[in-house]
Structure 1
Amino acid sequence: MLGLERRQKIMEKLTAERKVYVSELAKLYKVTEDTIRRDLEKLEQANLLRRSYGGATLAGNTSEDLSYRKRSNQNNESKLIIANKAANLIETGDTVMVDSSTTCRALLQQLVGQKDITVITNSIQLMNDFSGSSFIMICTGGALRANSLALTGSLAVNALAGYYVDYALLSCKAIDMEKGIMESNESESDIKKLMMQHARKTILLVDQSKFDKAAFVRCAPFSAIDTLVTDGTPSPAWQKCLSENHVRLL
């Protein structure tokens, strides 16, 4: 296989999976890992991907803010895996603050049927989706961000400040070992920070496509969360990073 053809195949795989690994690509295309690293370097120079520890992720604008509808159609299998793992952490009678992420929506779907769970959220989508459920639903109010169907601003902040819950259930745009937990916009980042502060414990739900990426706003350090739930085994470097910050990994 010619180098150009191999790089095209790498981009096809990366577009579908959002992240690729050097060792896997070397085995797949029957070349050395050094050859794959050179391929990734050339693709990065073309601004098609971003190299990361042991592999690469799809290049993207740090301020990219995908709509709720688009996010609802991405990585659904990963979200289900994460939701199934995280559901075991929530018990009957718990109170939770939940952000407007589609991964958290998947988690609430797994919890439907449990009684006496109180959900405080800034998401009008979640209020609609679970209006007929057994959850006690509380909406923050606030200014609507139509793109994400999230409520933000002073009304949302003031509403959240009046509660203290068992868990904050959150997702994010990206995570980076040095930069921490990142978001695409300040208004929703502020809401998530407040949710973390007003919860006994914080559970972060992130699929593997968000590892080793950067976004526009630094939301919080890893020390601000208690548990990270993901859909695959992170690299040894990531496991060390999370352990040093006393984050439980599922």
Structure 2
Amino acid sequence: MSEKIKYYRKSRKIKKVHVSQLAKTFNVSEETIRRDLDKLEKEGIVDRSYGGATLSQHTNEDLPYATRNIINVEEKKNIATKTTSLITSGDSLIADTSSTVFESLNLLAREKENLTIITNSITAVDLLSNFKVHLILTGGTLRTKSNSLVGSDAANTISRYYVDYAIISCKGLSMENGITDSNEPEAEVKNHMLKRANKVILVADSSKFDRNAFIKIVDISEIDYLITDKEPSHEWKQFLKEKDVTLIY
């Protein structure tokens, strides 16, 4: 299933795929492809159509964490490696629940010492409990779809701290509409995190550029670093320079 998800996600230029085409590509039966497409539709990745499927591009698309965690894995690891260059041992961090941020925390916990990490991610807590970090969980209302804690209790905990860096990700990034996400409670928590950090790091793979999601998190000018997996267009580089955002790729 993961290989099929990658096939759909590897290029936003793919408008429609056909059952017969996919069966040949993956050397499986058409019935297997139909079952996979049915499952992907339930997860919000594709919309089924006669003889195949089209890629879902709803602005409020909110995929389960298990699905997001197997999309663009190499790009996320690439970004994680670059993120570690900004963080030093002893730093304090606040981090969201995104799978890209998770990869960064995974690497940071292994390479840095004496980190203090505040997060609303149940998945990250499960990972970080195996390392020598000072770990603070925000508390809040559990969103099982994303393994995240949200709501007023999460916001109240975040408001008690001031950290060196916030590390967040997003669903969309556009020059016109800024940094956007698919889910309002998640976006609100991220906004609180940004306000409690001396420096803000946005980690976003190249598929997020020139996309709009459901709700705005913050203007691009409010972040300090944008870390991505490959060189963006000249227009984006110029735009980020004008906004005083350090681009790392």
TM-score by length of 1: 0.78
Equivalent of 1:100 in 91, 97, 102? 97
Distance across 1 between alignment mates of 2:9 and 2:153: 39
> Residues 163-216 of structure 1: CA distance to partner in whole angstroms, max 9, x if unpaired?
000000000111011000000111111111111110000000000111111100
Matches for 1:119-138 after TM superposition, within 5 Å? 119-138=117-136
In 1, Cα distance between the equivalents of 2:94 and 2:11?
29
1:135 positional shift = 1.2
Match of residue 54 from structure 1: none
8 Å contact from structure 2 (residues 91, 115) kept in 1? yes
8 Å Cα contact 2:109-2:115 kept in structure 1: no
- In the alignment, what sits opposite 1:18? 11
CA distance in structure 2 between the aligned counterparts of 1:151 and 1:84, rounded to whole angstroms: 26
Partner of 2:216: 218
Distance 1:170 1:226 in 2: 12
Matches within 5 A, 1:85-164: 85-113=82-110, 114-164=112-162
The Cα shift of 1:14 comes to: 7.7
Per the TM alignment, residue 59 of structure 1 is displaced from its structure 2 partner at its CA by 5.4
The answer as to whether partners of 1:19 and 1:208 remain within 8 angstroms in 2 is: no
Hey, what does 2:72 align to over in structure 1? 75
Gaps of 5+ in 1: 1-12, 21-47, 49-57
Between 1:145-154 and 1:108-117, the stretch displaced more is: 108-117
Q: Distance in 1 between matches of 2:77 and 2:239?
A: 25
Q: Any gaps of 5 or more consecutive residues in structure 2?
A: 1-5, 14-45, 47-54
The list of structure 1 runs, each at least 4 consecutive aligned residues, that deviate by more than 2 angstroms after superposition, is 13-16
The answer to whether the 8 Å contact 2:9/2:71 transfers is: no
Question: Is contact 2:92-2:116 (8 Å) kept?
Answer: yes
**Residue 240 (structure 1) shift:** 1.3
> In 2, Cα distance between the equivalents of 1:138 and 1:72?
23
Partners of 1:14 and 1:147 lie apart in 2 by 23
